[in-house]
Structure 1
Amino acid sequence: MRMKNKLIALLLTTTIAAGMILTGCSGENKNNSGTGNTKEVSITNVSYDPTREFYAAYNELFQKHWQKEKGQSVKVTASHGGSGSQARSVIEGNEADVVTLALAHDITAIEDTGLIEKGWIDEFDKDSSPYTSTIVFLVRKGNEKGIHDWNDLVKKGVDVITPNPKTSGGACWNFLAAWAYEQQQDGNNEEETKEFMKKLYQNVLVLDSGARGATSTFVEKGQGDVLIAWENEAYLSIEEYPDDYEIVTPSVSILAQPSVAVVDSVAKKHGTEEVSKEYLQYLYSDEAQRLAGENYYRPSNEKILKEFADQFDLDMNLVTIDDFGGWDQAFKDYFDDGAVFDQIYSE
């Protein structure tokens, strides 16, 4: 019996070693993207916080698609965190084949290092934004504090939960949506808007590093009266706790456009260029667009978006990042070191 166990152990060791050689674990070209030359190809998707559930489902859908098209299995490893932090991790050596982040600026930061080729935003439709979202409020059932719009968030005694715009892409969208609301109220008076934002952040209990952490603080730890949240994140909370929370739609919000890109230098190194590009392109397929809607993202395909008209308020007053001069200008004005957010938060 012992001899039999030794033989089995030896066979298993040999099999594992052979598998490591075949997949090229220690070599630069660890995969083959394409054409059935290997039985399995592996890619890594570095994403932002609230996409966990969507990409868990999408990866299964894509695996079936790739197997059908190429006769090859594909393994997708996903990483999630605050969008800004995730972008920095890629810049610092996290070898993502693709990135699916909360805002274009985070991908541009990677592009600036040379890891992503210029022009990535035009590689896929809709500015490489296959789905969108917006910013809403999540409140506890009954809404005891009477929170209906942004001005209610600056009242005394209202505790707000929102993540940190220095690390979270969602938090940047939150900030800009609040700013746009107050600008419309005070006739674009910047000093009055700064004072409004200062009051808002004085009411913030916790600045988590990412959107999912902020949701956990509000939902699981029970802190705060209102969560400024991605629309999809708010819906997920209600799906899980239907009797505990409700969504409030503010009078002004923002069209949030998460962006996707192939990390060209890494995909080339890994030999995954073909599968990485198809992984992102397939997000625009009808099947993936409906899956996005089922996970409470707004499909970029207008026809499929209308199929979810009962789920989403399609008549919301939404500003866009273009109203702020684009992301480069928005970061310079609001989020870079010493810009408006630092000014009001330090005070």
Structure 2
Amino acid sequence: MKKTIKAAVVGMTGMLALTACTSAGGSSSKDTLSVVAFSVMETANEGVYEAYQETDAGEETEFAPSYGASGDQSRAVVDGKEADFVHFSLETDVTRLVDEGLVADDWKEATPTNGIATSSVVVFVVREGNPLGIDSWDDLAQPGVEIVTPNPGSSGAARWNILAAWAHIIGNGGTEKEAEQFVSDLLANTPALPASGREATSAFVEGDQDVLLSYENEAILAKQNGEAIDYVVPQDTLLIENPAAVTVDAKDGAEDFLEFVTSAEAQSLYAGFGFRPVEGVEGVELPEVEGANDPADPFPAPEELYTIDGDFGGWGEAADKFFADGEDGEPLGIIPRLIEHSGADAQE
């Protein structure tokens, strides 16, 4: 009998709706920055906002944040949503804005991190005590294992998860045909695809599935919030890099905030919520991270860490190959075709 799944917790849905309402109309104040970000950033950003407001550059700054699925947020900015500062799961969600003239084409040069603001890795979130003994990617494709992962049509987290699974096969000597079969097997074990990474977390903690594919920081945050879960960093996984940029018409202060987000102070704050410090930021002091498997050594190095640039040719190539849709909505990329044939409920 199929296990139950919930798309989101009512309280979380209400919180997201309230947050969106505070920013949908924007603000006329030059000191109120409209931040449009992917859903996973919501909790961690609160401390970063407060720390920035304690600096000389940010002492008069207020924030009007909006959070949601990364792709949906990016498309909303194209459709007119006010944004001074954007922070998305995927580079392609920023390049969409570049193509529309909303973000400068040299946005990566604005930071010492090549435009990356936060980073993580793909992990397996399991029930407390890991009752099924989930340890490797191959365990996820076994019959009877039920998985939660978001919808790659709306969620950046989902795309990282799927490509991590693909890289596991290719990186261990498999063919593309074998990788496609492996992802098909994973999707066959996935009854529903929640719209965002945060909704997927809510669905997992409120449901009874066996495994959630997620960011490491989401797993750590769930444990910090007292959820009865554990997580596994697999021996081979994918480096997650989340970009941020200011818009071309951003209010005064947006560039200062971007500089702060990629500073050692902000990266240390993000680390406290489970984000791995971004390469290129020097002097980050790692705190003990409550909720990590080892709070004193929270970010263990996997035996094999795949990257988008090194293993997939960059997001420009990967997005077209794996996730493209045709103008008539017909799936062109590998993953939409596999989802269409899997029978999974792709929620929006």
**Does the pair score TM above 0.5?**
yes
- Alignment match, 1:15: none
Match of 1:256 among 199, 223, 240: 240
- What do residues 7-59 of structure 1 show as CA deviations (whole Å, max 9, x unaligned)? xxxxxxxxxxxxxxxxxxx9x99344xxxxxxxx1111000011111111111
- What do residues 190-224 of structure 1 show as CA deviations (whole Å, max 9, x unaligned)? 111101110110101220110000000001x2231
Q: Name the CA distance, whole Å, in 2 between partners of 1:60 and 1:138.
A: 30
Match of 1:229 among 191, 195, 214: 214
How far residue 188 of structure 1 moved from its aligned partner, in angstroms, is 3.8
- Alignment match, 2:195: 209
Contact between 1:153 and 1:160, CA under 8 Å: does it hold in 2? Answer: yes
Once the two structures are superposed, the pairs formed by residues 168-179 of structure 1 within 5 Å of their partners are 168-179=155-166
* Residues 29 and 223 of structure 1: CA distance in aligned 2, closer, same or farther (over 3 Å): closer
- Alignment match, 1:339: 333
- 2:79 matches 1:92: yes
- 2:92 matches 1:105: yes
- Alignment match, 1:324: 312
Contact between 1:205 and 1:224, CA under 8 Å: does it hold in 2? Answer: no
Aligned residue identity for 1:330: A
Contact between 1:83 and 1:167, CA under 8 Å: does it hold in 2? Answer: yes
Contact between 1:298 and 1:305, CA under 8 Å: does it hold in 2? Answer: no
- What do residues 290-344 of structure 1 show as CA deviations (whole Å, max 9, x unaligned)? 1011111111235426666611113442111111011010011100111100221
Once the two structures are superposed, the pairs formed by residues 112-261 of structure 1 within 5 Å of their partners are 112-185=99-172, 187-219=173-205, 221-241=206-226, 244-261=228-245
Q: CA RMSD in A?
A: 1.9
Q: Name the CA distance, whole Å, in 2 between partners of 1:107 and 1:229.
A: 21
Q: Secondary structure at the match of 2:114?
A: helix
Q: Name the CA distance, whole Å, in 1 between partners of 2:117 and 2:238.
A: 17
Q: Name the CA distance, whole Å, in 2 between partners of 1:203 and 1:157.
A: 7
Contact between 2:35 and 2:83, CA under 8 Å: does it hold in 1? Answer: yes
Structure 1: 5+ residue runs without aligned partners? 1-25, 33-40
Structure 2: 5+ residue runs without aligned partners? 1-24, 289-295, 326-331, 342-348
Aligned residue identity for 1:247: Y
Aligned residue identity for 2:218: E
- Alignment match, 1:75: 62
Report which of the two has the higher share of helix.
Answer: 1
Q: Secondary structure at the match of 2:49?
A: helix
Aligned residues: 301
How far residue 142 of structure 1 moved from its aligned partner, in angstroms, is 2.2
- Alignment match, 1:30: 28
Aligned residue identity for 1:287: E
- Alignment match, 1:38: none
How far residue 130 of structure 1 moved from its aligned partner, in angstroms, is 2.8
- Alignment match, 2:41: 51
> Percent same amino acid among aligned pairs?
34
* Residues 116 and 303 of structure 1: CA distance in aligned 2, closer, same or farther (over 3 Å): same
- 2:308 matches 1:298: no
Deviates more, 1:136-145 or 1:168-177: 136-145
Q: Secondary structure at the match of 1:144?
A: coil
Contact between 2:27 and 2:34, CA under 8 Å: does it hold in 1? Answer: no
How far residue 124 of structure 1 moved from its aligned partner, in angstroms, is 1.1
* Residues 128 and 194 of structure 1: CA distance in aligned 2, closer, same or farther (over 3 Å): same
Aligned residue identity for 1:261: A
Q: Secondary structure at the match of 1:156?
A: coil
Q: Which has the larger radius of gyration?
A: 1
* Residues 227 and 123 of structure 1: CA distance in aligned 2, closer, same or farther (over 3 Å): same
Contact between 1:299 and 1:305, CA under 8 Å: does it hold in 2? Answer: no
- 2:266 matches 1:288: yes
Contact between 2:272 and 2:287, CA under 8 Å: does it hold in 1? Answer: no
Aligned residue identity for 2:160: W
* Residues 123 and 146 of structure 1: CA distance in aligned 2, closer, same or farther (over 3 Å): same
What's the TM-score once normalised by structure 2's chain length? 0.82
